[in-house]
Structure 1
């Protein structure tokens, strides 16, 4: 027997609205179709917007029409909230090392989640999981659902929505302006080390280096407050490229050295390759090393080789490779900087001075 009395309380009206609206959208059902024989469509709209307190009979009828079984067992809700919180904690601290496993555990209970007070949080898990990935259909489907109830989200949910939407714009679509606006919006509700660091990256992409430094330093302090030492590695890698971009190569090199120290202390050497590439790149710019920069990414290596040895007749090939590089949706600012400099040198060497001038003015590839 469903216990729906709690949904009649004023503080739960937005939850009721979300539960009905998301399940209606999932079933491709119009308001007019759902309301038929139960209430007028305009009243259903108010229910979905959390604006009215409907009768228990109306809720029962709407749930029956949508086949919502409604799971509100206290043990299920407590355990599920803890698991969802663990997913986001793992994602924040360790990426998808363990959060992928937690995601699979959550998905196995989807039938319960979509019929429970945790429906929005469950879809936010999906939103985070598919953010900036090539699984566009899954991401866009969840995005559509969350956008339909955006005005019903709690502040904590709004933070996640704007953060992951901004992250997707930055890493997948490379729209730094929209990413900056969304990430800034997320800070109205909460901040994390990651949200501040990605905001710094958006400013970096927009060539707003003062703001990039400002938010990077805020991310550093937030990572310390969170106890997120893995996040500090990403901070040092970002700050290294940022320092190099503003002309302080020696300072950039020190950032990589600090990141290596953290990696060794934490025994997280999977990040070591990126730091070593950065050190090699910075040392070569200081003329303190003749060691070539070896990059495993095939497309990046091809671009660097073509820029070093190619001529003007290979310009179309170069542009094609650059397009493919961008389509990889990578987030490696060091590679971006290497390619940016190499392409400018290619233009200059082949007397394409206008192209070199224009690219220099853009500050990024």
Structure 2
């Protein structure tokens, strides 16, 4: 559960007072305006409000230990609403924090016991069974707006309300394309743990956080979005292809352990270093053009590289590429290159673009004599076939 709605709830009560929790519809409207992408959290908070959690928290006896109080309320939500115990716990704690019944220090210290250990009732009263998978799937489906429902229905070629079996099919999707839709959050994808390929390019999302546990993800296109960090991807060790072109990212650090990465496109981003790629020995294609990089040294050991593009950068030397014997295509146009000599041993090179550099007259001709099978494009003079 994300804590942003929890914080917004506290802010709303501070600003507007008791009317926030006295009028559930107003509370829900406020939260949906302040953090519309967190539908699950909002639904749980409003569900708790309608279950009279607030008066029970405010009117509780000072003699009742806080952990016992919260455990009892959590148990009640769990039984009456049929939601997961961790969601019920989160909702009760959120309201307790917002009302000042507990403080963040108590929560951080984990002083509050879990319902199973704190509540005498839970030890003596059998728990009502959790909702069936069918019910849980339907509850999950009902949370999302029409845009997401259309995306999911398109994925399974369905033009009506999905059946229970079709919901299972949606939750088991291995591939999804949500381009062309005005969606602000990827939150619905958090449950799609079997997802292997995702194209969310060109939509106004700002975060990849809902993807943080999708460890089966292999291909991700998040280009032309508003994301500013790749941090949520740091544990997606099966990722093979990543396109984050034209985003607001400034660092590739989260990728440093993604050793299965084969293709990376970070064109037109704010990155200034390729250092995080140093150990990504399976990398075959790298496009880092129109960035602030000035050094190729981290690529020195990436001998599987076949395609490399870093045009419109401040790169001055090709020396780190000297032993990348599998390189086939190289675009280093509009950079600061002054020598092609480091490329003389790259016999598999088939295309080299070097226009708008600091090469001298004759440099491309000399290279062509050493590596005759390579097409050299240098518009400063002419193309050399």
TM-score range (shorter-chain normalised) is 0.3 to 0.5
Larger fraction in strand:
2
More helix as a share of residues: 1
Higher relative contact order (CA 8 A, sep 6+): 1
